[in-house]
Amino acid sequence: MIAVQPDPFDAAALLADFAGRSAGAGAIATFTGLVRGENDGSAVSALELDFHPRLTQRAVAGIAADAAERFGLIDVAIVHRHGILAPGEAIVFVAAAAQHRRAAFDAVDYVMDRLKTEAPFWKREQRSDGAHWIEARERDHSDHLRWG
């Protein structure tokens, strides 16, 4: 399942559905990213995520396919929101099913590193000190580089 959507999602329901589709898996690892309530010392009131429908969907699907091949996954799921989100709301859900735990853990980490640095989303936080565009940080790029 690959989805780029404005609607909220229920991570527990997504996991239950994913587990049902992942027969034979020895491990399932997941990650759910949330909107921060504070960043750089300022309160965050909202996160705006804009995207290009065709390019973003293609990039997210490509990242999923690469992860599936690289880690020998049984299945992979990515759900990423767009629109205006409040602190505490889920932004992204990633799940990987594999024969062994290390592949599942690594696949989720790999997908997140690539989403943070490659997926065409434009992010702007509304903070107590004004609006701020969010770019991938130096750490995000170094995390991505470790995958070679």
Place of tokens 């909107």: 35
pTM: 0.94
Provide the residue range defining the domain that includes 57: 2-145
Residue 16 CB neighbours (<10 A): 10
Domains contained in the chain, number: 1
Q: Positive or negative, the Cα torsion across 123, 126, 130, 136?
A: negative
Residue 135: per-residue pLDDT: 87
> Which CATH number goes with the domain that contains 9?
3.90.1170.40
Residue 137: per-residue pLDDT: 87
Interatomic CA distance for residues 135 and 48, integer angstroms: 13
Q: What is the mean pLDDT of each run of 10 residues along the chain (148 residues)?
A: 97 97 95 94 95 96 98 98 98 98 98 96 94 89 88
HSE, CB side, 13 Å, CA atoms: give it for residue 139: 1
Share of the chain above pLDDT 90, in %: 86
